[in-house]
Each structure stands twice: as C-alpha cells, then as structure tokens.
Chain A
C-alpha cells in the first residue's frame, strides 16, 4: 500500500464550474503526479511536482492547474470544466530516484 488517498472518488458536475481534486500521501515523498486515463489514449501526464511549490507541466496540461503547499497534498484544479475533461484521474507518487511510480485508485469525473 503506497499510502495514497484520492478524493473525491466520484464526481459529477456541470460544464463551466471549477473542480478541485485532491491527492494525499501519508509519507513525505518528493515527487507527485497527476494523470488522466481515457479509452484510446492510455495514461497521460497532466502536471507533476518535485517539491513544495515546485510544479511543472505534462503533455496535457491545458485547462488544468495544480498546487502543492504541503508535501503531503497535491491538488488538481479544473478552472472551468469542459466535457472533454470527463475522465478518470490518477495521482501517483515516486519514492526515489529511478524508483517506480505508485498510483492511487483514481477519481472518476463526469462533466455534463
């Protein structure tokens, strides 16, 4: 168990509303990641963090922002949700250099 909790696990919202997803880890690992998983695309990196207040963009970052004010929490915000952002969102942590990423159980987000 990698000690990763994602919340909420499921959410339904409307187009144009802001949405924030939370990823919480129980240990002080430096690296945290947000992915989305869609049929036909596999897992794609949205943003990642390599420390408190240190973040960088992934391959599908448009329309998303992140914040990391504490080591244990990494927040993903959809500033104005669109139907194309309906997806399953996964958070991951990495425990050290050249170590594998470990994933949470995901948030299923539906935007109507």
Chain B
C-alpha cells in the first residue's frame, strides 16, 4: 500500500530561524514527488515537483530535495508569511496522488 508520512505535524519557528520538513514515502513506481502549500480556507497551491533522487528545486526561501526514501523541504530564514500547512504527495502510475497529512508551520515575528 502506498504511504506518505510527514513530520513533524506542527512546527513553530522564530522569524529567521531555518529548519526542514520531512516527507517519507513508500510509493511503488514513484513518478513524482510533489510539494504543496495550503493556507487556511484555501486549496493546496503547487510548489515543486521532484522526479529523481538527488534532484533539488528552489523557490525564494524554499528548497526541496529528494532521496530514494524521503524528501525534505528546507526553509531558510523564514518570514511570517511562510506560515501555512505544507503537504507532500507521491504520484504513481495513472496520475494518482497519495498525500501526507501535512506539516503546519507557524513563523513568529
């Protein structure tokens, strides 16, 4: 059974305090690992897709990396506006996504 597990469930940071979110996956035939950001009352917003181990992608203060078993979302010098729930999802054949439960990030000023 495909499974995606995110940790921690919740993370509180001070503004400027860098950290990482973890996404572990057991997805057979992984065709992509996706990261999304979700704000309260909104739908998930796409951030990154990673396809192969060793791949990295960056966007502003965020960098996503992928190994054969897990993905990390590194947040460098976060700002309060980075507060959100971050979701990761693994894609199998047929375009189905298996989502983790998310990490709720709070960045205090």
In the complex, the answer to whether A103 meets B102 with C-beta atoms within 8 Å is no
In the complex, the answer to whether B31 meets A98 with C-beta atoms within 8 Å is yes
Residues of B within 8 A of A (CB): 4, 31-32, 34, 36, 41-46, 49, 51, 87, 89, 95-97, 99-102
Determine the main DSSP class of A at the interface with B. Answer: strand
Task: Mark out the residues of chain A between 80 and 112 whose CB falls within 8 Å of any chain B CB in the assembled complex.
Answer: 90, 92, 94, 98, 100-106
In the complex, the answer to whether A100 meets B43 with C-beta atoms within 8 Å is no
> Which bucket holds chain A's interface residue count?
20 to 34
- Shortest distance between the CB of B32 and any CB in chain A (Å): 6
The complex places the Cα of A92 from the Cα of B45 at a distance, in Å, of: 11
Measured between beta carbons, the chain A residues less than 8 angstroms from B97 are 43, 45, 101
In the complex, the answer to whether A105 meets B96 with C-beta atoms within 8 Å is no
In the complex, the answer to whether A31 meets B95 with C-beta atoms within 8 Å is yes
In the complex, the answer to whether B32 meets A41 with C-beta atoms within 8 Å is no
Measured between beta carbons, the chain B residues less than 8 angstroms from A40 are 101
In the complex, the answer to whether A42 meets B87 with C-beta atoms within 8 Å is yes
Say if the beta carbon of A3 comes within 8 Å of chain B: no
Offer 15 A-B interface pairs, CB within 8 angstroms, sorted by A.
A4-B43, A31-B95, A42-B100, A42-B101, A43-B97, A43-B99, A45-B96, A48-B95, A48-B96, A100-B49, A101-B46, A103-B36, A103-B44, A104-B43, A105-B42
